[in-house]
Amino acid sequence: MSAAKQRHLRAVDAGRGLQLHRFETPGGLPVTVAQRGRIPLVAVRLVLSSGAAADPGGKEGLADFTMRLLRRGTTHRDAHALDEAIEFVGASLGLFAGEDQVALALTTPAESLASMLGVMAELVRAPSFPEDEVRTERERSLGQFANDVDDPSLLADRALLRTAWAGHPYGHDVTGTRASVGGFGRGDAAGFHAAHFGPRPARLFVVGAVDPAGVAAQVEEAFGAWAGGPERGFEVLPPVGIGRAGRVVVVDRPEQTQSQVRIAGPAYRRGAPVQFAAQVVNVTLGAGFTSRLVREVRVKRGLSYGVGSAFDTLRAGGLFSVSSFTKVETTGKLLSVMRQEVDRMRKGGPTRSELEKAQRYLAGLFPLRTETNESLAAVLADMALYGLGDDWLDRYRDRVRAVTRAEAAEAAARYCFPDPPLTVVVGPAERLRSQLEKFGPVDVLSADDVL
Amino acid sequence: MSLRRKSPDLFPVHEARLPSGLRVRMVPDHDAPVVSLYTFFQVGSRNERPGITGISHLFEHMMFNGAEKYGPKEFDEVLESNGGRSNAYTTHDTTVYYEDFAADALDTVLDLESDRMRALTIDDRSLRSEREVVKEERRLRVDNEPAGLMDEALQALVYQAHAYRWPVIGWMGDIEAIRREDCEAYFRTFYAPNNAVLWVAGDFEPDSLLRRIRKAYGDIPRGPAVPEVVNAEPPQRGERRAQLRHPSRAPSVLVAYRGPAVADPDTLTLDVLQFILGVGEGSRLQRSLVYERRLAVNVGVDWSWRRDPGIFAFHLELQPDADVPAAEEALYAVIHRVAEQGVEPREVEKARNNLRAHLLREFTSNSGRAHALGTYELFLGSWKHGFGLPEAYGRIDAKAIQAAARRWLDPTQRSVVTLIPEDGKR
């Protein structure tokens, strides 16, 4: 029995009392176990270097579709039996596709860890993609698109992504489009699984009040025989600039009384050294309740309930975006204030006191990012997938505190739209046009164009 | 392994009561240098009256607009500068404020929180600006969101007399009409220490913290007794229906049954029934409506505890071409089967396992511990009942669940809102 074999558990000190125990299964699956806490709930995360960016042309949404089908049947059990196995013990399992990773995220009562590891291994090793489940999932996905039309915020995010990264593998929503999903069959999902799933591009993380050696034996029992599959994860080339820069894309929703607004420009890839200075800029401009944007948009003018900025960074590139919403009549005014604040940040960066405040904010709240077992497992997975380094958790706060004003100003100059940004607005095009023309040539799309 | 036996090891709770009536609960944990602080006020839209609906929620916004020591918007400015973040929410029954922050900011946070409980200032300029912000929030969550529109229509259908009739965010006209004097009276009545519970969880020593809390809050005087809310809701004498026409692509159905108040023993039985019917991919409704009949894209069941009789609701997000009456009938068939034939013992055990895991999940962060126990205290009368929930659920058997389904999911006590797609380009 494989569990009886000698395992080489290697301990890595991740700082602040966190020990990571590592080993590799005979098939080549790298495993990390972190022992902590007292609550008898264990988080398990299996990530694969794959994702929506690996969707074949014309098959947008396939990674996500494949992930959702994993628990709809294996060569051993049907969907109902799998649901029962997972849900009876009080475990929960999420299956996700991102642009450049797919993940199975499980939380289970500690006493059921061994059996749940077995279920997880079964899902990734032996999904059967039954025809009728493929059909149900396809219809459900198409039905979901129809329901998504009613969410203006979601439409804005979808329009932003596909416009900004048009022509690049990141340039479609992970759920795909109605046209692509409508054509999915069993062979597509099975083919994606065969091409992307295997122990070598995967990593497994177990976090909780567990004994690392015991967990190692359970992992080996479940995953020890998993072998084959691709040698490594897929690669994606960096995007070049963004689409429709300097233009305004309006997704027409004639009945809306409120517009959703996004402005975006290119940013850096995940893990780039500039990230700490960039985060300081982001906090000052548009995070929390006291950012420049909140003060100007919400507090001083009552224009919106929410406004914020964010760096969304992936393996090959990133976007910097500013988001908000306001009643239709004040859309132009809101955009002017947003643009004005981003311009002001680009020209001067944060002041000394803003820099110090942002550093205290980021450093003070950092421990919350890994407070639960699930969140620590997710951060450990990101550290591995994006090459952030084992000292990431330990050094994050010092790195944030070390950012200088000059570095922050440089990051602001680079990312706060030095070139004309892309603007996306979801709302009634007819009533919006005159307010938007001063921000660039206006292109009007229908909701169907972004679904 | 029951949670109750494990709970003393999981985390101890220290409690105290100040002479002003302020209840203090402390849950120390030294795993990370962070603290979460919750202030629960026992007030919500339930305590409002027509003409000023939404004042509880608007007032929640005003709590960030300045007090005696810290001026307008200084609350978050000081908090975020010290490595913290804040937020708040309002429900029908409660208003809750919370902060997560670096442990060394604890005294600052106590200073900030006690300042606004002691002497909030409400000026017309802040009120004007905040009113606009709340109107945008309403446009976001209700006016441009079909689920929000449907929920608003449903509450007004179920309740004829009770304050649960209006939305927590308030009617647009009322948000417009609320005056500074209304806010000041509201503060005096409902924001006194005797109507609040303070929960602190995280990296601190309880004895020292209690001394600091006494110092920060000790001089805030007790307020008047909070006026009782009258429940004049008349009995329902048959099914009620409403229809919304909206330029959606897909129809949708919201069905609610009148349920008990949280103090009723059937409340916990309905918790179990909620899981059996609608929580998880293998739940009865998910299997039937989503996977077997393929009528719905998603099915949700909402049984939220309320101080006065609440509602047990089902939300069906349907396929674009779904036959709405057929989807409704499919839902009723699943409910009817539970009422007539009962549930399997294995389903009961599964629901219990999930309720226990749910409880444990709430306890995995400082914020989660403070929030969960604070909520249990407000609704169940004591936080200790929260720890006892797994045992309480353990006493609920299949027979009790069938009886509760029969009693509460009665077709004559049903209210139904349907969303019918219509062309947006009128």
Which domains can be identified in chain B, with CATH numbers? 3-217 (3.30.830.10), 240-421 (3.30.830.10)
Which residues of chain B lie closer than 8 angstroms to A38, CB-CB? 9-10
Report the candidate in B9, B3, B1, B15 with the shortest Cα–Cα distance to residue B29: B9
Residue B290 forms contact with A (CB below 8 Å): yes
Mean pLDDT of chain B: 94
Distance (Å, whole) CA A156 – CA A164: 12
Which range has the worst mean pLDDT, A12-21, A178-187, B320-329? A12-21
Tokens of A159: 């329009």
Average of per-residue pLDDT across B53-68: 94
pLDDT of residue A441: 98
- Tell me the ipTM for this assembly: 0.93
Q: Which residues contact B225 (CB under 8 A, 6 or more apart)?
A: none
Domain ranges of chain A: 2-223, 248-450
Does residue A1 register a pLDDT over 60?
Answer: no
Radius of gyration of chain B (CA): 23
Sign of CA dihedral A204, A209, A215, A218: negative
* pLDDT averaged over every residue in chain A: 95
Region of B294 please: left (phi>0), alpha (psi -120 to 50) or beta. Answer: left
Does A248-450 match A2-223 at the fold level?
yes
**Mean pLDDT value across residues A125-133:** 97
pLDDT at A302: 93
Tell me what the mean pLDDT of segment B318-338 comes to: 97
Give mean pLDDT, residues A413-436: 98
Model pLDDT, residue A2: 43
| % chain A with pLDDT above 70 | 98
Q: How far apart are CA A110 and CA B161, in angstroms?
A: 48
pLDDT of residue B2: 38
Dihedrals φ, ψ of A437, to 5°? -60, -30
The per-residue pLDDT for B322 is: 94
Given CB atoms, is B284 within the 8 Å cutoff of chain A? no
Beta carbons of B136 and A258 less than 8 Å apart? yes
Distance between CA B336 and CA B410 in Å, rounded? 9
A302 contacts on B by Cβ (under 8 Å): 128-133, 136
Q: Could you identify the residue written with the tokens 């951060």?
A: A379
Contact partners, residue A141, CB within 8 Å, separation at least 6? A61, A65, A68, A175, A176, A181
What is the mean pLDDT of the segment spanning B225-244?
96
Is the minimum CB–CB distance between B100 and chain A shorter than 8 Å?
A: yes
**Residue B202 — pLDDT band, cuts 50, 70, 90?**
very high
Tell me how close the Cα of A236 comes to any Cα of chain B, in angstroms: 33
Distance between CA atoms of A428 and A435, rounded to whole angstroms? Answer: 12
User: CA A269 from chain center: how many Å?
Assistant: 13
Instruction: Please tell me the CATH code under which domain A2-223 is placed.
Output: 3.30.830.10
Share of chain B above pLDDT 70, in %: 97
Residues A66-104 pLDDT 10s? 999 999 999 999 999 999 999 999 999 999 999 999 999
- Kindly report, residue by residue over B166-183, the tens digit of the pLDDT: 999 999 999 999 999 999
The mean pLDDT of B70-90, rounded to a whole number, is 95
Residue A48's DSSP bridge partners are: A102, A202
pLDDT confidence tier of residue B425, bands split at 50, 70 and 90: very low
Residue A183 pLDDT:
97
| Confidence at residue B10, expressed as pLDDT on a 0 to 100 scale | 72
Q: Is the pLDDT of residue A111 over 50?
A: yes
CB spacing of A152 vs B353 below 8 angstroms: no
Q: Mean pLDDT throughout A171-196? A: 97
Cβ(A205)–Cβ(A173) below 8 Å: no
C-alpha span between B279 and B284 (Å, rounded) = 9
Q: Is 70 exceeded by the pLDDT of residue B257?
A: yes
> Which residue type does B5 have?
R
pLDDT score of A332: 98
Confidence class of residue A16 from pLDDT cuts 50, 70 and 90? confident
The predicted structure's pLDDT at residue B13: 96
What pLDDT shows up at residue B4? 41
Q: pLDDT of A282-336, one tens digit each?
A: 999 999 899 999 999 999 999 999 999 999 999 999 999 999 999 999 999 999 9
Of residues A87, A258, A300, nearest to B139 (C-beta):
A258
Residue B102 has pLDDT above 90, yes or no: yes
- Tell me what pLDDT residue B9 has: 54
**A352 touching B (Cβ < 8 Å):** no
Residue A147: pLDDT band with limits 50, 70, 90: confident
Residues in contact with A376: Cβ distance below 8 Å, sequence separation at least 6, in sequence order: A34, A36, A43, A207, A370
Kindly list the residues from chain A whose CB atom is less than 8 angstroms away from the CB atom of residue B202. none
CATH number assigned to the domain covering A248-450? 3.30.830.10
Cβ of residue B300 closer than 8 Å to a chain A Cβ: no
Per-residue confidence band for B250, with pLDDT thresholds at 50, 70 and 90: very high
- Say yes or no: A389 contacts chain B, CB-CB below 8 A: no
What is the Cα–Cα distance from B210 to B113, expressed in whole angstroms? 15
Residue B6 has pLDDT above 50, yes or no: no
